[in-house]
Amino acid sequence: MKKVLSLFILLAVLSVSFSCIDTSKAEVKLITAEEMQSILEQEDVQVIDVRSAEEYDEVHIVNAQNIDINSPTFDEDIIGLDKERPIILYCKGGGRSAKCAKKMQDAGFEKIYDLEGGISRWEHSDKIDLEVKS
């Protein structure tokens, strides 16, 4: 009887412990340019270009905000963003935006989209609106 009671208490403690683990991390969803356009039309989204200011000045998605992932102030820069509003991230090829998505996930952002292949994959398509330096 003592063993059964001990086992019951152990299971109760374990179930309470595991129920307190935070499983609310946002899932990062890779999206195509077509999916991005649809999201932009349906949701109030924050579009973030995580490339350098120089890259951003050359070409960027219309209405995107530039927050350089490699900036020493990156963590402070994202504090001003709304964690409850969806975010679309992009860079040149997808590497920096994936790194940024992980950081934003850890910071508690709820809905994160990452433009698959970055801007270079979609730069010459008619799927996204770009602002190009003339």
Cα torsion 78, 83, 85, 89 to 10°: value is 40
Q: What per-residue confidence (pLDDT) applies to 72?
A: 97
Q: Pick from 81, 87, 92: which is nearest to 114 by CA? A: 87
Q: State which residues form the domain around 87.
A: 24-132
pTM of structure? 0.79
The answer to the question of residue 117 being in a domain is: yes
Would residue 4 count as lying in a domain?
A: no
Q: Find the CATH number of the domain harbouring 76.
A: 3.40.250.10
pLDDT score of 35: 95
Sign of the CA dihedral 84, 90, 94, 99?
A: negative
12 vs 130: which has the higher pLDDT: 130
What is the per-residue pLDDT across 84-119, written as a single tens digit (0 to 9) for each? Answer: 999 999 999 999 999 999 999 999 999 999 999 999
Residue 53 in domain: yes
Tell me the C-alpha to C-alpha distance, in Å, between residue 67 and each of 11, 27, 100. 47, 21, 10
What pLDDT shows up at residue 21?
46
Q: Is residue 18 part of a domain?
A: no
Of 65, 66, 37, 61, nearest in space to 51 by CA: 66
12 in a domain, yes or no?
Answer: no
Q: How many domains does the chain have?
A: 1
pLDDT digits (tens, 9 = 90+) for 21-60: 444 567 999 999 999 999 999 999 999 999 999 999 999 9
Taking the C-alpha atoms of residue 55 and residue 64, their distance in angstroms, rounded to an integer, is 13
Give the residue, 130 or 111, on which the prediction is more confident.
111
Whether residue 9 is contained in a domain is answered as no
Please indicate, yes or no, if residue 13 is contained in any of the structural domains.
no
What is the model's pLDDT at position 10? 53
In a domain, 8, yes or no: no
